Amino acid sequence: MSQITPAQQLFDLTGEVALVTGASSGLGRRFAQVLAAHGAKVVAAARRTDRLKDLAASSPNIAALALDVTDTKGIPAALDEAERAFGPLTLLVNNAGIASGGRIVNTAEGEWEQVIRTNVDSVWHLSRAFAERIIARKGAGAIINIASLVAGRVGLSSASYAISKAAVLHMSKAQAWEWARHGIRVNAISPGFIASEMTDDYLASPAGQEMIRRVPQRRSGQPSDLDGTLLLLASAKASGFMTGAEINVDGGHALA
């Protein structure tokens, strides 16, 4: 029997260099803080760089990076800049995303394209560029894609958002299958309704309150509810034999 690794070592991320997109607020900001608190060097990326300044100032393990994930041509230069901060990247958290509120026939002109560019195309291009670097240096790494409960529950959100997150789930499996032989693990987290700038107004509305009553745990989630899942998938010691997995963190909502 192999030696038992204490939990504090199991989730020690010392030596990992992570890029977290959409890190200026909400889940992305929390992800950056949690990874840094467990020893990883973290490049927190977002368009709203003013919001990243205090995040970077809060820890010597966090650096700020201006990044528009929809600018796919700028990705190589952005990754170069990220690696100048702390060295070669070993972990990518594809968190950046937007939600829209329209049904299909009411979707505003250009909204579908914007959602797909932000939620799907960025994951494709960033993951590919990240993987190319890992493969070129014959290293190892991990990608954590942030999907959603609504990827499998049409009707809980706008169609464009649900479709985009379903694409992220399937992409995660394709990435996992292709890159496993290169030492790259790819897994997805599917959160339920988590309190954030994106969801706060909805959760406070009558419709949101009614939705919460249908969640088996009878509550919405907090960003901290994702801490353990993030650390599990980020740590090669904890999840070295996991790839292509989806983990629901939704209070049982997928069962309802």
Residues designated as active site: 161
Q: Are 167 and 238 a contacting pair, CB within 8 Å?
A: no
Angle (CA) 174 236 195, round 5°: 75
Q: Copy the structure tokens of residue 243.
A: 């790839």
Q: Copy the structure tokens of residue 155.
A: 């009707």
The sheet carrying 41-46 orders its strands as: 62-66, 41-46, 17-20, 91-94, 141-146, 184-191, 246-249
Q: Copy the structure tokens of residue 53.
A: 């300044």
Residue in the block written with tokens 């959603």: 148
For 102: left if phi > 0, alpha if psi spans -120 to 50, otherwise beta; the answer is beta
State how far the Cα of 40 lies from the Cα of 62, in Å rounded to an integer.
Answer: 9
State how far the Cα of 34 lies from the Cα of 169, in Å rounded to an integer.
Answer: 23
Q: C-alpha distances in angstroms, 141 versus 17, 19, 30, 59, 103?
A: 10, 12, 21, 23, 38
